[in-house]
Amino acid sequence: MNSNTMKMIIAIVRDVDEEAVVKALLKENFRVTQIASSGGFFHRGNATLMIGVTEQRVNLAIQTIRENCEPTLDLAVKHATVFVLNIDHFEQV
């Protein structure tokens, strides 16, 4: 696979959203690695999702994450934090 077009999305979602987000990503044929995590001021439970994608699919992945996070009334609670990183090398063995 051409490594110049690969991106790594690291999405930190609330644990209550993890199942819906992962199911939706899998339905769109994304491969997802899940890591349990915690953080923030109250050390709430989170899930860190790692998703390797082509550059052309980054927006679809972010849209899928956005659409599958439950709304919250607490304005201090973010639905997800998403990082998109360039990947120098990608290989599946």
The string of pLDDT tens digits covering residues 4-56 is: 589 999 999 988 999 999 999 999 999 999 998 766 555 667 899 999 999 99
CATH number reported for the structural domain that contains residue 78 in this entry: 3.30.70.120
Residue 18 domain-assigned (yes or no): yes
Domain that includes residue 13, residue range: 3-86
Q: Residue for token digits 């690291």?
A: 10
Give the CA distances from residue 61 to residues 34, 41, 57, 58, in Å, rounded to whole numbers and listed in that order: 15, 27, 6, 5
Residue 27 domain-assigned (yes or no): yes
Confidence tier at 91 by pLDDT (50, 70, 90): confident
How far is it, in rounded angstroms, from Cα 64 to Cα 31? 13
Residue 55 domain-assigned (yes or no): yes
Residue 91 domain-assigned (yes or no): no
Q: Name the E strands within the chain.
A: 6-14, 32-39, 44-54, 80-86
What is the reported pTM?
A: 0.83
Strands 80-86 and 6-14: antiparallel
Q: How many domains does the chain have?
A: 1
How far is it, in rounded angstroms, from Cα 45 to Cα 15? 6
